[in-house]
Amino acid sequence: MIEGGCGISLAIDNGDTFLMSQKTAQLVIGRLLTDEELRAQFLGRPFETLAAFRDLGFDLTEREIDAILQTDKSLWTDAADRIDPRLQRCSFRSK
């Protein structure tokens, strides 16, 4: 463990598993923030949505899934509202 700024401990692993999983977590978080339809699905059925990512071969660890599930739900829509619309994937389905 390395002590980062603000007292944050960072796990460092020289293996490819940690790096691949971290990249996957970043990809999933990015998709949740920029894909309106996926975000709505996640907010309604969070565990099932993340399980579907794993079923598709995304390498999310149990720890990462738990961390995403424990994140304050308001973050996903609040952060998405602050992202430039040109980076957003909008849903054209009627609500």
Q: How many domains does the chain have?
A: 1
Domain-located, residue 89: no
| Alpha-carbon gap, residue 75 to 66, rounded angstroms | 15
- 21, 73, 92, 93 from 26: Cα distances, Å: 9, 17, 25, 26
Angle at Cα 51 formed by Cα 48 and Cα 52, nearest 5°?
90
Domain-located, residue 67: yes
pLDDT digits (tens, 9 = 90+) for 55-78: 999 989 889 999 999 999 999 999
Domain-located, residue 38: yes
Global pTM value? 0.73
| Alpha-carbon gap, residue 82 to 48, rounded angstroms | 26
pLDDT at 6: 41
Domain ranges, residue 67: 14-81
Q: Categorize the per-residue pLDDT at 45 as very low, low, confident or very high, splitting at 50, 70 and 90.
A: very high
Domain-located, residue 63: yes
pLDDT digits (tens, 9 = 90+) for 6-30: 433 344 455 555 555 788 999 999 9
